[in-house]
């Protein structure tokens, strides 16, 4: 089997729905008390340039549930970034493991590692995309709504970050209408908007980018947001907080959405900024189901990239 990487949402354009359904099957089977050890003996190597609660725990426990083993590698544990090239690191560690998860600062480094790795590489986040989180979110939405195609999704806040970029592509792939609501200065990279529109022509998804907050939630089935100050942007916090005033998802915004609309957030959340705690911990929020699904969705991704088969 040829090596397959997951570096961005376009790598899933042909089987995203299949992977989402596999995540649901794994979750259902495991919660019924049955084993899901479909990757027995496999080793996952996890490189973390950026720390993360959910990414580390979900991948590590997920691989364990699949019957495999996970190895955590922080910048202090490896020579990459302290003299050894990404190329050499990839060529060495891919001889030790069966699959690599890399959480990186720069997407160029992600592509470099994948280029020289002998085994599949999963993007656990970089400054361009966050594909695992979008698979997770779509899985949670499907569990609650029973479908994805035809739903309408609106993301409020920083539109020029990895979450917004991956939402554009992921929603378009599954046929979900997607709207990015952000200040003009923070709107998405044109590449992702155009790609989403191109995909949407085939799947029926409408793609919209606007800076108009008023009425943006009307007709929406899902509202989403992310932190206004991502890792690496801390020096801009005061400016960003000022420029994102008015983009907070609060009770008023939720009431504008369709009846039964869901709220999602990849976490960590900063209450009072991008969302109020009233909404994040309210009855329409599925943020903790979403967080749990990081594990199940990533188990499905690993199975798919490793060529493991699900057996009922």
pLDDT digit string (tens) for the chain, length 312 residues: 789 999 999 999 999 999 999 999 999 999 999 999 999 999 999 999 998 999 999 999 999 999 999 999 998 888 886 779 999 999 999 999 999 999 999 999 999 999 999 999 999 999 999 999 999 999 999 999 999 999 999 999 999 999 999 999 999 999 999 999 999 999 999 999 999 999 999 999 999 999 999 999 999 999 999 999 877 778 889 999 999 999 999 999 999 999 999 999 999 999 999 999 999 999 999 999 999 999 999 999 999 999 999 998
Q: Verify that 36 and 156 share a domain, yes or no.
A: no
Q: Verify that 217 and 298 share a domain, yes or no.
A: no
Structural domain contains residue 312: no
Q: Which residue in 158, 221, 294, 308 is the catalytic one?
A: 294
Q: Is 226 a catalytic residue?
A: yes
Q: Which residue has the tokens 């969302």?
A: 275
Q: Which residue in 56, 65, 130, 165 is the catalytic one?
A: 130
Give the orientation angle of helix 53-65 with respect to helix 287-306, to 10 degrees. 50
Burial call 96-127: b when 16+ CB within 10 Å, e when fewer: ebbbbbbbbeebebbbbbbebbebbbbbbbbb
Backbone angles phi, psi at 55, to 5 degrees: -65, -45
The CATH number that applies at residue 146 is: 3.40.50.1370
Q: Verify that 93 and 156 share a domain, yes or no.
A: no
Structural domain contains residue 157: yes
Q: Which residue in 221, 226, 240, 284 is the catalytic one?
A: 226
Q: Is 308 a catalytic residue?
A: no
**Entry pTM:** 0.96
Q: Is 65 a catalytic residue?
A: no
Q: Verify that 63 and 112 share a domain, yes or no.
A: yes
Q: Which residue in 54, 103, 128, 240 is the catalytic one?
A: 103
Q: Verify that 139 and 275 share a domain, yes or no.
A: yes
Q: Is 56 a catalytic residue?
A: no
pLDDT of residue 106: 96
Q: Is 103 a catalytic residue?
A: yes
Structural domain contains residue 2: no
Q: How many domains does the chain have?
A: 2
Q: Verify that 286 and 146 share a domain, yes or no.
A: yes
Residue-wise DSSP of the chain: -----BSSGGGGTTTHHHHHHHHHHHHHHHHTT----TTTT-EEEEEESS--HHHHHHHHHHHHHTT-EEEEE-TTTSSBTTTB-HHHHHHHHTTT-SEEEEE-S-HHHHHHHHHH-SS-EEEEE-SS--HHHHHHHHHHHHHHHS--TT-EEEEES--SSHHHHHHHHHHHHTT-EEEEE--GGGPPPHHHHHHHHHHHHHHT--EEEE---TTTTTT-SEEEE--SS-TT-GGGHHHHHHHTTT--B-HHHHHHSPTT-EEEE-S---BTTTB-HHHHTSTTB-HHHHHHHHHHHHHHHHHHHHT-----
Structural domain contains residue 311: no
Residue among 88, 112, 117, 123 at smallest CA distance from 6 = 123
Under the phi-then-psi rule, with left for phi > 0, alpha for psi from -120 to 50, and beta for the rest, what region is 41?
Answer: left
Structural domain contains residue 119: yes
Q: Give yes or no for a contact between 264 and 137, defined as CB atoms under 8 angstroms apart.
A: yes
How far apart are alpha carbons 225 and 137 in whole angstroms? 12
Q: Verify that 273 and 145 share a domain, yes or no.
A: yes
Q: Verify that 112 and 137 share a domain, yes or no.
A: no
Structural domain contains residue 249: yes
Q: Which residue in 133, 187, 284, 298 is the catalytic one?
A: 133
Q: Is 133 a catalytic residue?
A: yes
Q: Verify that 93 and 165 share a domain, yes or no.
A: no
Q: Verify that 93 and 49 share a domain, yes or no.
A: yes
Q: Verify that 22 and 44 share a domain, yes or no.
A: yes
Q: How far is CA 312 from the centre of its chain?
A: 27
Q: Verify that 265 and 207 share a domain, yes or no.
A: yes
pLDDT of residue 208: 98
Structural domain contains residue 277: yes
Q: Which residue in 221, 266, 284, 298 is the catalytic one?
A: 266
pLDDT of residue 197: 98
Identify the domain containing residue 200 by its residue range: 133-290
Structural domain contains residue 4: no
Q: How far is CA 40 from the centre of its chain?
A: 25
Residue among 154, 151, 173, 170 at smallest CA distance from 162 = 170
Residues 6+ apart with CB under 8 A from 14: none
């Amino acid at each position: 089997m040829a090596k397959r990487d997951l570096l961005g949402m376009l790598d899933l354009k042909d089987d995203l729905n299949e992977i989402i359904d596999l995540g649901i099957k794994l979750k259902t089977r495991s919660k019924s008390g049955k084993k899901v050890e479909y990757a027995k003996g496999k080793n996952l190597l996890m490189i973390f340039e950026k720390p993360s609660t959910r990414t580390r725990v979900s991948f590590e426990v997920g691989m364990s549930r699949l019957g495999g083993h996970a190895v955590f590698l922080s910048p202090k544990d490896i020579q990459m970034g302290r003299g050894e090239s990404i190329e050499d690191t990839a060529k060495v560690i891919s001889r030790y493991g069966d699959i690599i998860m890399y959480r990186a600062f720069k997407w160029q480094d992600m592509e470099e590692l994948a280029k020289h790795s002998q085994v599949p590489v999963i993007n656990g986040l970089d400054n361009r995309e966050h594909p695992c989180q979008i698979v997770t979110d779509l899985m949670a939405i499907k569990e609650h709504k029973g479908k994805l195609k035809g739903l309408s999704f609106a993301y409020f806040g920083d539109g020029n970050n990895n979450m917004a970029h991956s939402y554009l592509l992921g929603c378009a792939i599954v046929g979900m209408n997607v709207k990015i609501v952000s200040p003009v200065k923070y709107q998405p990279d044109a590449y992702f908007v155009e790609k989403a529109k191109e995909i949407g022509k085939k799947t029926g998804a409408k793609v919209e980018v606007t800076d108009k907050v008023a009425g943006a939630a009307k007709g929406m089935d899902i509202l989403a947001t992310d932190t206004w100050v991502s890792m690496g942007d801390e020096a801009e916090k005061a400016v960003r907080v000022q420029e994102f005033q008015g983009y907070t998802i609060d009770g008023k915004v939720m009431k504008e959405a369709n009846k039964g609309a869901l709220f999602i957030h990849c976490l960590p959340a900063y209450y009072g900024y991008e969302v109020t705690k009233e909404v994040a911990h309210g009855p329409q929020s599925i943020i903790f189901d979403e967080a749990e699904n990081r594990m199940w969705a990533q188990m499905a991704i690993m199975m798919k990239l490793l060529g493991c088969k699900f057996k009922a």
